[in-house]
Amino acid sequence: MTKVDIIIVGAGAAGLICAKELSEAGNKVMVIEASERIGGRIYTIVDNHFTLPVELGAEFIHGDLPLTKQLLKEAGIDFYKIKGAIWRSQSGVFVEEDDFFEDVDQVIKQLKKLDTDLNIADFLAQYFSGDGHAKIRKTLTGFVEGYDAADTKKASSFALLQELLGEDDNQYRIKGGYTKLVDHLADTGRKAGCCFKLQTVVTEVRWHKGHVEAIDQTGVSYTAKKIIVTVPLGVLQAAKESPGHINFSPAISDVQKAIDSLGYGIVIKLILQFEEPLWNYAKDIQSKKKKKEPGFLFSDAVIPTWWTQLPEKNAMITGWIAGPQAARLQNEPDEKLIRLGLESLSVIFNLSRETLQSKLIGSYIFNWSKNEFAKGAYSYETVQSKNAKRIIMEPTEKTIYFAGEAYHEGPERGTVEAALRNGMETACKIIKK
C-alpha cells in the first residue's frame, strides 16, 4: 500500500497543473493515469508521412488566453498566430466569410432578450421559425454541432451568448505541438517530487472524511488524505461496466447526478497529407477565390469543416466531424472515413476523388469516442450546467475534489485553458485550506 498526501486521477492538463502546484507547495502527490502516456486529450504524434507534428486532440490556443500563454512563456515554448481566410464552399464555389455562421449579430440580439435559459433547438423554434429563417437555423445548428460538438436539444442558449460575446479572433498553435506544454507541466511536477503511475486504472475509491483509498485494476491500493478526480467527463458518465469507470464507496449520488446533467461531445479528426495544397489543383479556383489563402473551410459536404496549417506552407489539411454527425459515424471503419473525407474534398474543391487519391501521401484518423479513457472530446454547456457545476466543485467532505475543462465557468469552456484554470483553482482550494 502506497501512502501520499494527495492522489490525482488522470494526467491530462487539469491533473498535471494540479500536480505541479500541489507538489511545489510541499505536498506529497501521486498522479495515477490509466493510459500509457500523459496528456489525456492533448495528443501529439510525429509521423514521417506528415510535414508537421500531427495533433490528434487539442490543436489551437483559442485567443489570448492568460494562463496558457503564461505557462508557455515560463517554459520557453514558441507559439505562433494562425493565418488564412474563412472560406465557405457551396457545391465547389468559394466565398470568403468573416463569420463562422450567417447573421451572427441577429442571433446575438435575440439571445440577449432571453430571461430564462433555453436549449438551442427551442431558441431557434421560438425566434427563428419559418421559411425566411431556414438558413439561420441551418448555419447556427451547424455551428453548435460542429464547433461545440453539442446536441442542440441540450445545449444552453445563455452559454452560446457568452461564447459569441467572448470570441477572440486571435488563434495560435504551439510550435512543435501541444505535447510540449504537457511535458513541461509533468517535468515541473516531477522536479517538485510528484510521482506518476501510468497504465494504472483506478476502479474504486473508498473514502471517509480525511481519508481515501484508490484501488487499481490489479487490486493494489493507494491511500491519501484527499483525491482529485480529473478524468474526462465521458468516463464519469459511462456505464459501470465500462473501462475506466470509478466506483465511489460510499456513493456520491448528488455529485454523480450533477455530472450526468452536463454535456459531452464526440469528435473524429481526419488528418490528410497531400503532395501539394489542394487549392493548387482545383479547377478554375483562381477565378473563384479571393487573394487570401484559406485557413478554415466550411461546406455542405458530408465532412463539412476543414482547416489548413497556415501560416505554415504545406499540404496538410484536417477534417473535423463533431456532435451528432460524429455520433452517426463513430462506428464506421477508418477506410470508410477516409473515403468520405476524399469525397467531401472532391465536392469542396471540384476535383475528382481519383485525383485526390493519387495525390494523397499520408492519412490519420482519431475517433475520440473509441478512446476508452476519454469516450469523447470535450464538454458543452447544458441548461442544467450552471447549478450542476456548483455541486461538483464543492469538495465532498473536503476529501473528494473534481477538476477539468467540463467544470470551468467562462467562455473558454471545452479548451485546454479551461482545464488549466479549473485545475489551478482546485489546487488553490487545497493549498489555502
pLDDT 10s digits, 148-159: 999 999 999 999
Is the distance from CB of 204 to CB of 216 less than 8 angstroms? Answer: no
Instruction: Give, in order, the Cα–Cα distances in Å from 316 to each of 181, 268, 335.
Output: 23, 17, 19
Confidence tier at 433 by pLDDT (50, 70, 90): low
Within a 10 A sphere around the Cβ of 24, how many other Cβ atoms? 17
Percent pLDDT > 70 in the chain is 95
Check residue 408 and give its pLDDT: 96
The boundaries of every CATH 3.50.50.60 domain in the chain are 2-42+177-263+381-432
User: How, if at all, do strands 221-224 and 211-216 pair?
Assistant: antiparallel
Q: Comparing 91-100, 112-121, 360-369, which segment has the lowest mean pLDDT?
A: 91-100
Check residue 30 and give its pLDDT: 98
Confidence tier at 95 by pLDDT (50, 70, 90): low
Confidence tier at 288 by pLDDT (50, 70, 90): very low
The boundaries of every CATH 3.90.660.10 domain in the chain are 44-64+79-84+170-175+265-370
User: Which of 90-94, 101-105, 394-398 has the highest average model confidence (pLDDT)?
Assistant: 394-398
Can you give the pTM of this predicted structure? 0.94
Check residue 294 and give its pLDDT: 83
- pLDDT, averaged across the chain: 92
Check residue 99 and give its pLDDT: 58
Q: Note the CATH architecture for domain 44-64+79-84+170-175+265-370.
A: Alpha-Beta Complex (3.90)
**Yes or no: is domain 2-42+177-263+381-432 CATH 3.50.50.60?**
yes
Nine-digit cell string for 251:
456513493
Strand partners for 365: 270
Q: Comparing 94-98, 241-245, 352-356, 416-420, which segment has the lowest mean pLDDT?
A: 94-98
- Judge whether residue 278 has pLDDT over 90: no
DSSP for 76-144 reads T--EEE---EEEEEETTEEEEESSSSTTHHHHHHHHTT-SS--BHHHHHHHHS-SGGGHHHHHHHHHHH
- C-beta contacts of 129-132 below 8 A and 24+ residues apart: none
- Judge whether residue 172 has pLDDT over 60: yes
Check residue 260 and give its pLDDT: 97
More confident position, 206 or 143: 206
Grid-cell match 459511462, residue found: 238
